[in-house]
Amino acid sequence: MSASRDYGTELDLLTKEMNELKQMLTQFINTRPSPKQALTMNVNENSLNDEAPHDLGSLFYSGQYRGHNGFRWDPRQQEVHHLLGLDTDKAAKVLAALGNKQRLDILLAVLLEPLSGSDIVERLNLGTTGQLYHHTKALLGADLLVQEERGGKYSLPAHRTLPLLLLLTAITDLLDTSHYMELTEARNNVEEYLGENKEGYDPNHLLWSVIDNSVLEHQAGYSTELCIVLHSDTSITVSDNGRGIPIQAFPQSKTTPVQTVLTELGHYNKSASVVASEGLKGINMPVVNALSEQLSVEVRREGKVFRQDFKHGIPQSELLVLGMTKETGTSITFKPNPDIFKYPFDKAALIDRLADLQGRFPDLKVEML
């Protein structure tokens, strides 16, 4: 038989939380300027001296972590201009302490449950207790870790639990920026992919990578048509009638496979990789995206047409539904960055490439418009 619920306790807790919410709402209403005050502020905004803080608004927040080492924040308020004026030297040190992968792994491990040093070494494959001592000493000194007693288990201080969880929450919304930084690095170090060429690079290298992805879909037995369209604005479209890139977001993620294929340079990206004659690294779809001024992907799958736009590799929209269709396949339209590629696509080279593909894959219908 299951244990009976204590409805009285649950009701008391709910009442307390509603009172806290009411208090926060009252604080918010009391700090908002009246229409007359707002008008006065707008009229006199040019008269503010340079030392007066700008009205950037306020943050109202509270929170409760009910897991192990639970902690509660009472309702509080922070002025945005105070946050923007924090000591960046100290802030950088905090982020640096948390930015070390092994230290962050240790914090996340003990957040689940208190662990002994040997447990941490085994769980995180640290190799030696010397590595553990080096990191735990820093975390203990920074009040980000506590130890029951000498040789005892490590855990997170209760008052640090909720701030760390909120920081991790914010980081999840910033994770994609790491991919965009990698794309920026690819753009800034284009010679690693295309070799050194002061006179301008050949955009056909990008095109070969996109075409090869459609060819891979044909080799897998899913695509029978490949169409290339040259546009007057120097952009080009590569389209196939394959399965279409999957559009469902990965578990525990808001990122779709479409965006992953086009933005993540990681080794798990399965797109085709073409190596330019003078390049050191392969050109895959994220590199094509990074080196393009604009790129759009259209996916025809599951009875719908989806589209997402990118600029210099960064998404400019979510994956949008444009309409219904009975077709399947993927179309990539991209315009090489004119700061990198000084010349248009070589049409003669493209014709030769397509003729070679037609010879090697007679069951693949190839056309250029």
Better pLDDT: 38 or 230? 230
How far is residue 112's CA from residue 226's CA, in Å, rounded to a whole number? 51
Q: Which helix (DSSP H) or strand (DSSP E) does residue 333 occupy?
A: strand 329-336
pLDDT in tens, 348-364: 999 999 999 999 999 99
Calculate the CA dihedral of residues 179, 181, 182, 188 and round it to 10 degrees.
Answer: 150
Least confident of 61-75, 205-219, 290-304, 305-319: 61-75
Average pLDDT, the chain: 83
Residue 327 sits at the vertex; the CA angle it makes with 326 and 332, to the nearest 5 degrees, is 140
| Separation CA 97–CA 142 (nearest Å) | 8
* Distant-in-sequence, close-in-space partners of 177: CB < 8 Å, separation ≥ 6: none
Rounded Cα gap, residues 268 and 347, in angstroms: 33
What's the Rg (C-alpha) of the chain?
Answer: 28
Amino acid at 148: E
Distances (CA, A) of 130 to 126, 133, 137: 9, 5, 11
For 99, list phi and psi in degrees, rounded to 5. -80, -15
- Percent of the chain past pLDDT 90, that is, above it, reads 40
Domain boundaries, the chain: 88-174, 190-368
**Residue percentage of the chain with pLDDT more than 70:** 81
Threshold 0.85, pTM exceeds: no
Classify domain 88-174 at the CATH topology level: Arc Repressor Mutant, subunit A (1.10.10)
Q: Which residue type does 187 have?
A: R
Give per-residue pLDDT as tens, 239-292. Answer: 999 999 999 887 767 789 999 999 988 644 556 667 766 666 889 999 999 999
CA distances from 226 to 173, 209, 219, 307 (A): 37, 14, 12, 19
Query: Are 142 and 155 contacting, i.e. CB atoms less than 8 angstroms apart?
Result: no
Give the amino acid at 111: L
Hey, what are 285's tokens?
A: 């779809």
* pLDDT tens digits, one per residue of 95-108: 877 778 889 999 99
The pLDDT tens digits of the residues spanning 138-184 come to: 888 888 899 988 778 999 888 888 888 888 888 887 877 888 888 99
| CATH code given to domain 190-368 | 3.30.565.10
- From CA 226, how far away is CA 163, in angstroms rounded? 52
What is the tens place of the pLDDT at every residue in 51-91? Answer: 445 578 888 878 777 777 677 778 888 888 888 888 888 88
* One-letter identity of residue 125: N
Burial letters 322-360, b for 16+ CB under 10 A, else e: eeeeeebbbbbbbbbbeebbeeebeeeebeebbeebeee
